Amino acid sequence: MNNLWRHLDLPFEIKPPTELLNIHYDYPFNVADVTELCGYTNDEVQDFIRSLDPDLTLDLIEGFYTPPGGSIPVHNDGDILCKMNQSFGEDGGILRWWKASEIFKKQPTVSDDQRQYEGDAIDYADRDNCTFLDQVNTNQPTLINTNVLHDTYNPPDAPGRWTLCFKPLINLQPITWDQGIELFKDYIIGEAT
C-alpha cells in the first residue's frame, strides 16, 4: 500500500456542508478554518474521532475550494501531518502529491488564534520543478499524508470542488501518518485489520 492516502469506509456519511458550498473565495483565503469563519461543525465526525481514542479531538475544521480548471499551490501542511479529507466535486477533481528538489518556507496564513497549537512553517515548491508521485479523488472520506508536498487539480469543465479537512489531534498535538493508519485501521478500505 502507498504511504500517501487510504480511502475510508465510515459508518456514516459526511454530508455536503450546504452552507459552505456557495462560497467560492480565492487562494490563499480559500484555505480557511470554516469553524471559525462560518461556524461549521460536524458532530458525527467529532463523535467518530473520539470513538477511535479517548485522547483524540478535532482541531478546527478547514475547508477549501478549487475552482474549475484551478489548483492550489504545491505545499505541505507544516506540523499537520495527517488529515481526513472529504471533497464534494467531480470524479476528475483530485489531490496530487509531488517530490521537489527545492522548497521554500512560509509561515501559515491562519492566525494563531485560529489554531489550538503553534503552527510551524509551511513548505512550498514550484510545480514546474516537481516530480509527480500519486493522486487520489477524495469524494469519499480519505486519510491523507499532508507531510508530503501536495496540491489539488480540478478539470476545466468541472464545477467547483469543495473539500473539508478534519485534523485529528492526540492530546492536542497533530497525529503522524503512522498514527493515523493505526487509529483508523478498522475503517481503511483494502487493508487487513
Query: What residues make contact with Fe ion under the rule CB under 5 A?
Result: 77
**Least CB distance to Fe ion at residue 146 (A):** 5
Which CB sits closer to Fe ion, 49 or 96?
96
Which CB sits closer to Fe ion, 96 or 181?
96
**Angle, CA 180 vertex, CA 168 and CA 32 arms, to 5°:** 35
Which CB sits closer to Fe ion, 12 or 132?
132
**Least CB distance to Fe ion at residue 80 (A):** 8
**Least CB distance to Fe ion at residue 95 (A):** 8
Which CB sits closer to Fe ion, 64 or 88?
64
Q: In what order do the strands lie in the sheet with 122-125?
A: 104-106, 122-125, 74-75, 150-153, 94-100, 130-136
Distance separating alpha carbons of residues 131 and 129, to the nearest angstrom: 7
> What cell does 64 get?
477549501
**Least CB distance to Fe ion at residue 2 (A):** 17
Q: In the 3-class helix/strand/coil scheme, how is 3-32 assigned residue by residue?
A: CCEEEECCCCCCCCCCCCCCCCCCCCCCCE
**Least CB distance to Fe ion at residue 122 (A):** 8
Distance separating alpha carbons of residues 2 and 173, to the nearest angstrom: 24
Q: Round to the nearest angstrom and report the end-to-end CA distance of the chain.
A: 14
**Least CB distance to Fe ion at residue 150 (A):** 6
The residue number with the shortest CB distance to Fe ion is 77
> What cell does 143 get?
486519510
Which CB sits closer to Fe ion, 59 or 77?
77
Beta pairing partners, 74: 125
Which CB sits closer to Fe ion, 77 or 123?
77
Beta pairing partners, 56: 170
